[in-house]
Amino acid sequence: MIRAALELIAQKGPAGFTFAEAARWAGVSPAAPYRHFRDRDELLIDVARRGFDGFAVALESAWGGGRPDAFTAFDRVGKAYLRFAKSEPAYYSAMFEAGIPPKASPPLQEADERALAVLRTATERVVATMPAQHRPPVLMMTLHIWALLHGIASLFGRGDAARRSFPMSPEDLLEAALLIYLRGLGLSVPPVGPGSS
């Protein structure tokens, strides 16, 4: 049923299929899914939870404990965010476009918070490089970074047919946007990759 839901989300979006359609795609009777899920929403909650679990693992791996420095690790987290959105568009859609609030289930909320915690930790480490009197609130900055990442992923980082063509890659746009944002806060940001200025 999970594979069926992912395939149908990829084809029709998270709102574009019925529970019965998912059962047909999975090759089971219309009654069979009810042994595992109360309804279609519960199926989508489980898909979103699995997506957030994988998302958190990808972000944690990219963060790598903040090594070798906060800026390099921060850059890796941003790029991992875009890679996940592009390589797992059905999961990403279930996570962010299905209209499922994280509080819909404790496991979903826990997985969502675990992913956000990686962004917050990375942001905290970057903020810690600033003089104490100039540090912005970490949560506010985390939300700014999240909005920036999500915006780029939604514009053209996803692997679906709606992806737009721009004169730069999502990764280059992200790097430029983060440099502008962080330098606007007064941070002296070192170059983090080939071609960085």
Alpha helices (runs of H) in the chain, residue ranges in sequence order: 2-12, 19-26, 40-63, 70-87, 89-96, 106-127, 138-152, 170-184
Residue in the block written with tokens 């699995």: 50
Residue carrying the six token digits 């915006």: 151
Cα separation, 147 vs 116, in Å, equals 12
Whether the per-residue pLDDT at 196 is higher than 50: the answer is no
Q: How far from chain centre, in Å, is Cα 64?
A: 17
Amino acid at the residue 41 = D
Distance CA 13, CA 119 (A): 27
What is the structure's pLDDT at 150? Answer: 95
CATH architecture under which domain 2-184 falls: Orthogonal Bundle (1.10)
Question: In this predicted model, which residue has the larger pLDDT, 33 or 6?
Answer: 6
Residue ranges per structural domain of the chain: 2-184
Tens digits of residue pLDDT in 133-179:
989 999 999 999 999 999 999 887 555 555 667 788 888 999 999 99
Per-residue pLDDT, averaged over 102-107, amounts to: 94
Strand, helix or coil at 68? coil
Return all residues near 187 (Cβ < 8 A) that are at least 6 apart.
126, 129, 130
Q: Tens of pLDDT along 37-88?
A: 999 999 999 999 999 999 999 999 999 999 999 999 999 999 999 999 999 9
Cα distance between residue 133 and residue 61, in whole Å: 32
Using DSSP's 3-state secondary structure scheme, residue 1 falls into: coil
- The pTM of this model reads 0.88
Phi, psi angles (nearest 5°) of residue 126: -70, -45
Which pLDDT score is estimated for 33? 84
Calculate the average pLDDT of the chain. Answer: 90
